[in-house]
Amino acid sequence: MTVDGRVGVTTVTTPTDTQVVIERVVAAPKGIVFDAYTNPKHLQKWLLGPEGWTMPICEMDLRPGGKWRYVWRKADGIEMQMGGLVKEVVPGEKIVTTERWGPDWPETINSVTLTESGGFTTIALTITYPSREARDAALKTGMTEGMNPSFARLDRLLRELV
């Protein structure tokens, strides 16, 4: 299968007992994808999960040791937030962060790598949990189902940015 044949398809795998890998191929160069993935003005347009959510707070200090925080809100006032620290940044190629949804969830290590081929970029998000139980509990929240609407919004945004 060619890379362009996978555009718009999100795959989710569990290669180890503690990891979830989410991949998506998009029709844009990796520099533009990196900007869309790390710039708050872009993140607030696409990283919204299921319909009905907004992101009124989006903070990203994109440097090792920098903090990030996202707050999502539904029209009825329900909020969800997560945040963490930036551990590594390779501009245009990779960002590694810690992530915590709140006090009841364990911290994860999230690594996003971008690989470009022929003008298409593969986004590979590897989420590493401290245990299999934590990974399985996260998967049961429906987190992966919320990614498809977000990635569809990212696809539309990238068409505007290219």
- Structural domains in the chain? 3-161 (3.30.530.20)
Quick one: pLDDT at residue 6? 82
C-alpha span between 133 and 140 (Å, rounded): 11
pTM value > 0.85: yes
Per-residue pLDDT tens, the chain, 162 aa: give them.
456 568 888 999 999 999 999 999 999 999 999 999 999 999 999 999 888 999 999 999 999 999 999 999 999 999 999 999 999 999 999 999 999 987 788 999 999 999 999 999 999 999 999 999 999 999 998 887 878 999 999 999 999 999
Quick one: pLDDT at residue 107? 95
Quick one: pLDDT at residue 144? 79
CA dihedral angle for residue 144, residue 149, residue 150, residue 156, rounded to 10 degrees: 150
Quick one: pLDDT at residue 49? 87
Which residue from 156, 154, 148 is spatially nearest to 11, judged by alpha carbons? 148
Q: How far is CA 64 from CA 95, 110, 114, 115, 119, in A?
A: 9, 14, 18, 21, 28
8 Å CB contact between 162 and 28: yes
Instruction: Report H helices in the chain.
Output: 30-38, 40-46, 132-139, 143-161
8 Å CB contact between 141 and 80: no
Quick one: pLDDT at residue 22? 96
8 Å CB contact between 44 and 157: no
